[in-house]
Amino acid sequence: MLQKRVIPCLLLHKGGLYKTEKFKKPTYIGDPINAIKIFNEKEVDELMFLDIDATILHKEPNYKMIEDIAGECFMPLCYGGGVKNIEQMKKIYALGVEKISLSSQAILNPPLIGEAAGIFGSQSVMVTIDVKKDFWGKTKVFIHNGKTNTKLNPIEFVTIVERLGAGEIVINSIDNDGMMNGYDIELLKALKAVLNVPLIALGGAGKMEHIKEVFEQANVDAVACGSLFVYQGPLKGVLISYPPYEQIQTLLDGGTHL
């Protein structure tokens, strides 16, 4: 397995697989199980599934769907969406999920991070932080699918999350989501400078060069990609894909074969 990970991030919405742009305009991509079968064949590092409905609709995680996904998935699996307490986390881990991502609850109930890390281990507890620029152009932490501005500074907040026991932190750029124009390199550099736990960049990848840039310039530990692995070409035709191991290795070793 690569030291630097490249992780497909898939969004669950209305029971299917969707892709968004700036957390809006959800576009149907296909069936989650069919996507997993493709990624199994491609020998993906790991998979991340985020349910974008559960928290907004005040629903429990869809345990049946999680069970189906985990049962089909041959690689490490992370799930996030609607997780509010330890009992829910126990159920999800028991279904075969290796990591759980906390998002809104990391802000609304920060002690849950430490409690979960103490029970399940930090390596199993991830925090996904959604960020975007506010009216004044300042990058802030948002929750509820980008609708609520917490006014929190992400650079300050990640240090709190790390101190509470999160094993990994995902920074999800709402402004870059689905735009396929590259990652927010400067923000990621600033975050990486204050963190000791792995940092995962999410939001913005449109070509393999973007992955190379964010690894080299921001020194992140992993990248997560949505559009890059579900769309093909400028018209965004749906095609689930993942580059061969050798292609990623060449890319990260400084090669030019993309």
Catalytic positions, written as ranges: 130
Give the phi and the psi of residue 191 in degrees, each rounded to 5: -70, -45
The helix (H) or strand (E) run that includes residue 6 is strand 5-13
188, 149, 66, 180 alpha-carbon torsion, rounded to 10°: -50
Token pair of 29 as six digits: 């991509």
Identify whether the C-beta of residue 127 lies closer than 8 Å to the C-beta of residue 170: yes
Which token pair is 44? 């993906």
Q: Which long-range contacts (CB under 8 A, 24 or more apart) does 228-236 make?
A: 228/180, 229/8, 230/10, 230/17, 230/19, 230/29, 230/35, 231/19, 231/180, 236/27
Tokens representing 147 are 């609708």
* Residue 39 phi, psi dihedral angles, 5° rounding: -65, -30
> CB–CB of 204/173 below 8 Å?
yes
Cβ count near 38 (within 10 Å): 16
Nearest-5° Cα angle at 32, 25 to 119 = 100
Distances (CA, A) of 134 to 52, 158, 181: 21, 18, 20
